[in-house]
Chains A and B, each alone.
Chain A
Amino acid sequence: MHEFSLVSCLLENACDAVAGHGDVRVTGISVRVGSLCQVVPALFRTAFEAATAGTRFEGARLALTTVPALVRCAGCAATFHPGDVFWVCPDCGAPGGEVVEGDDLILECIELEPVYESEAAHAD
């Protein structure tokens, strides 16, 4: 259950990204979830909701896109999408391989909207 740690990392990255954009409200965050990065989307959403409560990210739409694993064969360098825990190259039959895609959690983009002065004053 490391989703909470990952969400805190995500929010630190997101805070850095929105710094310098003035008074803004974050309305959406898009994240690419590699299928090998051991993240359970439902747990990630729960952690996101808990971690963002009371922050500028509260209520932001979290868009998670799954990136399938792509592996390069160590034997013949062919790339393939493994269909099983045990990777087998469909071209030469060699086991294992090196991950090309699908191992990362990537913050793709953030959607913002300005907080208007009257609104900000009201919030104060």
Chain B
Amino acid sequence: MRIRTKLEIGTLIVFVAALIIGLVLFFTSSRVNRATEEGKITLDIVQKASELGTLTFNHFNNLNERTELEWHSKNTMLAKMLASEFTGEQSQVIIRNLRQNQKELEPLFLKLNKIIKEENTTNHTSLSVNDPSQILVNNNLQLKLQNILNEAFKLTALSQSDISATERTASAFIFISIAVLGLFVTIGSFLVRKSIVEPIAQLDDGTKKVGQGNLHFQINISAEDEIGELAKAFNTMTLKLNGFYENLEDKVRQRSEEILEKNILFQSLVDNIPIGVALMKAPKGEILIMNQAGVKLLGRSLDLEDITKDQYTQKYTFQKEDGTSYPNQELPPSITLEQGEIVTKDDIVVCKPDESKISLRTTSAPVKNAQGRLASVVTIFEDITARKEIEKMKNQFLSFAAHQLRTPLGSIHWNLEMLLKGEMGKLLAPVEERLDQINQCNQRMIGFVNELLEVSLIQQGKWVDQALLTDIVPIIQDAVKGVELDTKSQNISITIIPTRFTIPKIIVDPKRFREVILNLLSNAIKYNRLNGKVTIEFKLLDKKLQIMVTDTGMGIPLNDQSKIFSEFFRAKNAILAETEGTGVGLFMIKSYIERWGGKIFLESEEGKYTTYYLEFQLP
């Protein structure tokens, strides 16, 4: 049965019960009322009977007309009272007796009245006890009155007991009604509890259990009402959920296994690659994990506890190649932790606990979390000791060779100079021409050797730089003038774009800065097209001065752009266009600029243009 129907039936039952109880109470109260009413009448009857007695006595003493009239009126009232309907059988018997007596009262009174009036006309006395007929009538009258009074008392008593009985019955009825109502309410609430509250509690309990993860739980409600339907739906849902869950668990298990498998693969990959890999936690740089190669390289046992405890800078000793200690803030992981950029350095020497030293090439890259914040830094490092050793030998050889080459080249130069000046006698024109050719070749050779030497010095870091706050404008203007001659053959124009701001001074070595500009201009002219343009622009960035040198030349192929600043590298199209050139110019420029704390990079499109961007921090 539906809850709604149940509630409707329940309400109906309570209503009917209340109605019955109401009716019973109503009838009970009307019985009480009637009994009370009857009681009142009996009391009146008693009063009237006694009044009649009194009036009779008064009248016969005084033979007063007024008392006679009053007596008749009271007697009539008594007759009316006796006409009232009394319910009880005993009462009706008494009433009959009373009526009988009352009927006989009237003639007795009249008879006595007549006798007394007759006597009065003769004796002028009032009541006389001597007349035997009078005495008889009087006695009868007295007797009847007495009877009426007695019967009235009896009726009163009866009425009183009737009232009490009725009241008792009424109390009993009220008590029973309340008890019945209470019973109904109890049964009703019991039914509500059984059919609504308990199932709801069961449902509640079930949801809690399922909520706690017991997906096997089923609610045991068989009722055919809404709660029953809800319970069925709930059970179906739980079953389905359980199905999903078990399916999900299977999937999770499967995935976990896959992940574990991949993890093992990944771990073996990380551990077996021959370069060190470490993950450091931002912002301080504690080592989170390091692969075996890394541990071996840095000379520490694979004791994670030991590795991860401190920041990496407290764990290892890093030096520069000249043996001085490496400033912590300049190490790649520190820079990445600070700036979030990828940094590579290959001039770091790590001192192992056994005091041996190895050179490292170290690259650090940021690892960002979902919010884009730096979470950690991944650092890879490889042993480049052997490479460094070879590099060192190469550089030593380079400077030795350069010095040794310069010596004969210099003396050839001077000998040729003397010859060409005619100091050894006048030369024949063809001889002079040949000697001049030899001299030019020799000069080229000297230039090349000088460049070699410069490169090796730069690579060994054995160069002294005199960087100071410099006004670069005159240097640039001077450099532009210096290359004027070279622009002629291809009719190339060089423009310095005027600025709205005063170009600030920057910290550079003036002599080398001139070389930088000369070199860039020389490239911009050499690899330009006929009637090409070269522009020099300045821009103020945030705390930086940017210088842009742009040409309208052949550009640099995309593949070569990353290598263009390497020593001895020349772009493919440049080699084709111009066989001369050693490919050290841009390497030197980059080295100089970086020494001054600046930056150089380029933007180029093959066949269209190349722009070199030079950036210098403002002091």
Query: Is the A/B pair a real complex?
Result: no
Question: Which A residues contact B (CB, under 8 angstroms)?
Answer: none
